[in-house]
Amino acid sequence: MPWATLPRATLQWTVNSMMASLTDLHFLLHDVLDYEGHYAKLDLSDVPDRPLLDAIIEEAARFCEGELAPINRVGDEQGCTLKDGEVTTPAGFKEAYAKYIEGGWAGLSGDVAYGGQGLPDSVSLMVQDLMSCANMAWTMYMGLSHGVVEALEHHGSETQKQQFLPKLLTGEWTGTMCLTESHAGSDVGLLRTKAEPLADGAHAITGTKIFISAGDHDLAENILHLVLARVVDAPSGTKGISMFVVPKFDLDGSRNGVVCGTVEEKMGIHGNATCTLHFESARGYLVGEQGHGMPNMFTMMNAARLVVGLQAISQAHTGLQLSLEYAHERQQMRSLTGPKAPDQPADPIIVHPDIRRLLLTQRAIVDGGRMLIFYGGQIADQATHLDGQAQADAQQLIDFLTPVIKGFLTELGFESVNHAMQVFGGHGYISETGVEQTVRDARITTIYEGTTGIQGLDLLGRKILQTQGAGLLLFLAQIDELARELNEDAQLAGLGKELARCSAEWGALAKDLGGKALENLDELGAAAVDFLFYSGYLTLAFCWGRIAQTAARQLAGKRPDEKFDADFLEGKLAAAQFYFARILPRAVAHKMAIEAGADTLMNPSARALGPW
């Protein structure tokens, strides 16, 4: 049946069935990253084994296929509505959330002392991967709650933990993160929301926050807002900011002074309520010490940035599966080297070199990006569950990788879904095929939780220059070790040689930029995004090197217990070779842009943008 004539229900089921690509996920988690062995090395009271992980993943896939994927388009078409100060989510969202609670998904990685199941955070990451592939807008409601749990576990008082965590970990309550104000944007130090102390120790929070994802909805009984505000007479700038938990319904059950003013009309993620929230002397409770709001909030923001990278790759994954199936089905023109389907009026478009370029680029982004996210999940686990120098090193490494995961993977994820649309041609631009929704939904990931420019400055300024490159040096050591291992295999020696060259070049480039920034900080700003992309392409080279190494070992019979067939493993090797040959060279252009210096942007005599 031609795609143009497929009914929407059929297309939705096509997305649905392709979403749960469990073979790729099992290969990555068990074979490339050995998550079972990873957990065995952590200080855990109950170590998750492979059967448990598989059961969680497969049950999550069934939940996604049965509950989330069927309402993905519904959420996009209906959006959220605001009436009489209350937000209603699209049809089916509330029912799916009730089944989510019933299944016990909310508390997977929560502290057992407060009703959680005590699994490492990376287990929740696996579940969010599948759920975001099925329905990104719906998944954002529960994803934000996870960040609130982390912030309260790290910085809340024991009383606050007892008050708030049990309900969050059952999913009966959800959470949000309230930073942005219309006049401030990413410059959070300019915020005007104020907190006035009350006689009973609480604070009256007054101000307006915008762009608050999941800011109001009808899914849960209550919503806990983590709000940044300035206590009266606190200093200006970020040092005067504190963090408060502000419930929609206060602890006594009464309606608190927080009101949804608008639900934003957006490009994508229509099923998630992005709200303007007005706090009108709302009762809030100080979390942590006064004036420590920004570092406390970063506990939540850093976890959220990993999830945003995951969201981008999840949309890229869905786009890849859609366009791959379409490329096999769609017949158009003949192969340049002669008919490949002589019994048909035309060949399937997958035989054409440029279609293969588009599909292989998507594959390189999706598999490599997924690898980076779950590798980051392991490092984050180590930073939480190890101690001493091992814990300190893991923290340095995840701090370094976070802006790469958030900034670089979101840009590549958006590139990938656009390639998916290109495979469809005109059929991709219309709604029926479903691919254009992935483009619109993925676009936000490059913006929220800090734009790409913010991530570039964070990587180069805070995570390299301020730490003398501590995290980069740790990562380069891992790249060098992998390069040595690859060089021992004749089939992979070319990849090893290239990794070793990249490692040396990366360290030298960072050192050179550090010297230039000492003389002129505009050099840092001018180089930041290009350095982020350069770092990202080299990081994905490391990921593809590990994928190729695993596939080659299994093909050589060194892992005879595995069940992946030769076609699957050879496909991974081919994708790795494609990445090194056709994607990694992009880093050269970014290096050249960095070396061009700040004058090409900042020289006052350059009038390309007019006087300034």
* Residues designated catalytic: 449
Q: How far is CA 245 from CA 2, 225, 438, in A?
A: 53, 6, 33
CA dihedral sign, ordered 195, 196, 197, 202: negative
Question: Per the structure block, which two tokens stand in for 501?
Answer: 């060259």
User: Residue 253: left (phi > 0), alpha (psi -120 to 50), or beta?
Assistant: left
Helix (H) or strand (E) holding 211: strand 203-213
Q: What is the distance between the alpha carbons of residues 4 and 542, in angstroms, rounded to a whole number?
A: 40
Which is it for strands 274-287 and 258-263: parallel, antiparallel or unpaired?
Answer: antiparallel
Contact by Cβ (8 Å): 400, 463: yes
Which 3 state secondary structure label does DSSP give 318?
helix
Whether the Cβ atoms of residue 209 and residue 180 lie closer than 8 Å to each other: yes
Q: Which residues contact 105 (CB under 8 A, 6 or more apart)?
A: 60, 63, 127, 142, 171
Place of tokens 């040096």: 473
Residue ranges in 405-521 assigned as alpha helix (H): 409-424, 426-429, 435-443, 452-457, 470-487, 493-519
Distance CA 379, CA 373 (A): 10
Pairing of strands 203-213, 194-197: antiparallel
- Match 């609670």 to its residue by tokens: 101
| 7 Rama sector, left if φ>0, alpha if ψ -120 to 50, beta otherwise | beta
Instruction: Provide the token pair at 562.
Output: 């595995």
Q: How do the residues of the chain divide into helix, strand and coil, expressed in percent and rounded to 5?
A: 60, 10, 25
